[in-house]
Structure formats: C-alpha cells, structure tokens
Structure 1
Amino acid sequence: MKPCKKESDVWEHFEKYDLVLDLKGVDRTKRKEVEKRAKCKYCNATYASDTKKNETSNMWEHLNKQCLHYPYRHKDKNTRTLAFDASKGNALVSRNFNKNDCLDACIRMVVRDELPFSFVEGEGFREFCSVACLQFNPPSHRTLGRRFLEMYTKMKEKLKVDLHSHRICLTTDTWISVQNVNYMVLTAHFVDFDYKMHKRILNFCVIDSHKWESIGKLLENCLIDWGHEKILTITADNVAVNTKAIEYVRKKING
C-alpha cells in the first residue's frame, strides 16, 4: 500500500469549499457541476484547488506577492517589540517576531500541559491567538505533529551528548492500561558537575508482555539505541521477572 501524500502547509492559510456551477444549455443530466475551490483566510481571494488538476503554486504566489493581509509577508526585520521574558525573571526585553520560535513554544506548551495536538485547532485557542498575537497563525495538528518529531530528534541527539559524560542510574516499570495494552518506561537519573540531580525519560513504549524475556530484550534495545554503557544501577519492582530481566541486561553489559 502506498503511503499517503503529505498535505501542503498552504492549507493552513486557505479553506476548501465546493462551488456548484449551473451549466445551462447542455444535456439535462449534466446541468450541474461541482468545482473544487480554495479561499484565502486573510483576503477571501479564491483559486481552483482540484488536487487532480491544480497545484498549490498559485496559492503560494498569492500569499507571498499579492495578499495584502498575509501577516508573514510584510515584516520589517528592523521592527522590534517589547515583551516580558519568563526565562530572565520576567525582564522586559526587545525582540523580533519569529514564526518558528512561536511554533516551538506552542509545541512545548502542548507537551508540558499534556494537551492533544488537536488543541491548536480549537476555536478558543485560535481566538486567543488572534487577540494576543496577530502575526502568529495557529498551525494545524498535522503541522504540529511534524514539527514535534523534528524537535524530538534534535533534543534526543543533544541528550545523548549530555549523558555521555555521566554514569547514570536507571529505573524501569511496566503496567497495563485500561485498553489492556502493556507499556514500559525507562528513566535515567544522574548528577551533573554542579551536583544537581537530573531525571530524563529515555523511552516510553509498548511491550509485548510482562515476561522477563520481553522486558530484558526491550531494556537491551533501549540501551543500544541510546549508545550508553556507563550504567551504575538498574532499579525495578521486587518481582521475579524483573530480577531475571535485570540479570539478563547485566550479563549483556558485562559480556
């Protein structure tokens, strides 16, 4: 089966609709025809949008060169605004608007507050953004998901580098969800050079079963994926399957 073609980001700025055409003077069985159209969210200009006949280049051309209300085109790089920066003790700083920074902050909000990706498509959030920041156009849940995976990959590579300098202590746990799905989490704990304790989740995944073979193999694969060999301890619940699983991992590390 062929993978689904990724939808263009241009649809964050256009709305699809069907235009019914009344074809007079032709065969009565074919008097009406439906034309696929797209309407700009900023100026209501319309374009043909049949995916089998039309490309999205004309819509991008409209946004970048014609639409007078597109918030990301008319942007003076020298224009700065004052804002409170929470990372600097709510100090008042001057900054430029950056779409990518806003999108990354939106992703961090969704992750930290454990919100669904569809949250950004809610009417309340979009109304808030239209008042708080006119330049920021809330993304679709698809765009948010793609950006999230890109951010995850970068942060994972950075964490690999950070962990390389430390001996880590691992904790792991397994459980069954209300949907009767088995999950396992693997968490790393370490102390940095300033003697501060850190905790990082290395893996959160589905596991075949709670047998020691499945737990041991998954732990082994997780450690191989992270490429870390400086393991100080592995802690788990005091049950027989965990004892066998940890013994299996210990032999693999020492072997």
Structure 2
Amino acid sequence: MDKFLGVSESGSAKCVICGHVNKSCGNTTNLFNHLKRAHPTVLSVPKGVARIADFFDTNSKKTYENGSFRKSSLDKALISMIATDLQPFRIVEGAGFRNFVYCLDPQYTLPCRRTLNDVLLSNMYEDIFDIKSAVLCTSKLLNDLDHMSENIASSLHEVLSEWGVASNVSAIVTDNASSMIKSCSIVGKRHMPCFAHTLNLIMQESLQ
C-alpha cells in the first residue's frame, strides 16, 4: 500500500491523500477498505494499462478454422496414424485420447468418425493412388455354350493378350462359382470373390 505511511509501532498507518490514520491490525484490509470508501478512483486501473488477466483469457475457446493449414495438417497426421497403426475410427471418441490431444493442442478439434471415413480416408487414398478404370471388353466366351473353367480361362487369356495387360493384372474379381475360381488359377491370376455376390449368398442363406 504505497498510499499510506506508518505512524506508530502498533501498525497504524496514515493516508497520504487525506491524512486519516487507520489501524492495520497486522494486514492491509482496513487500509484497502479506506481507499475504497474515501478514494475509489485511486483503485481504478487507467485505460491502456494491460492486466495479467488480459493475457490469460480462460473463457476463450478459439479453435482452428476448417481448411486452415494447421487444421488440415493435424487431420492428415491423424488419419495417417489410424491407417498405419490399424486403429479403429472410434479412437477419436475415447475420453483418454481426446484429453491427450487437448493437452497437445487445445485449439485442435478432433474430426468425427464419419469425417474420418468419408472425407479424410478418401482424400488420403486418392493422394496415394492414381485410380483409373476402363471397360476393355464385353465379348462372349470363345465357346458361349461351354461354361467349363478351361473355356473361361482361354477367353480371359485372349482378352488379356489382346490388350497387352496380362503382366499388369494382379487379380481377377468374379462370383464364387468353382469354375470361375479354377479359371483364374489356370490363367495364373489371384481370384478375388465379389463382395456383393458374397453378401447376397449370405443373406439368402440366412433367410432360408
């Protein structure tokens, strides 16, 4: 309290503004109350003077804007971590993980599971792979009355050779018929069962 001067050993202090003597009782409460009552303007903070509270705004909830460089960088790092470590999308809903991310950067808002799957993972896939599709041939089998695996394999081999892509094909997707599976084996290509056909078989089986 630089507005008071000590005047006795008992702790009394004299106000340098009005000369009033106040008992301090070992603390500054009485002195502070005197200033509030008699000199309220002395306690006011002049305009333009920064306060400590101005630098620690506890009510502020500023977050990175969608599309900002920082937000996009953290989103990409997150989806990369999930894909690399084979983590489930629900990791972003875990209380512990959310608290960990908040401690690292309070301004970063975690994306939801749908955004992870529909947007971030899709964008990541497109950034890594240059996906192209084309219909090369829709011709019939060499012998359209023969549905044996050997005839199917010969038909597949002719199309692959005609387009010069035999060495570039790593897998062939068909239904789950045994003749189709064997024909892929004859051609020397990996067989991939059609997901839609497999799901249809499962549903038919479950409804019987």
**Which structure shows the higher strand fraction?**
1
Relative to the length of structure 2, the TM-score reads 0.37
**Which structure shows the higher helix fraction?**
2
Larger Rg: 2
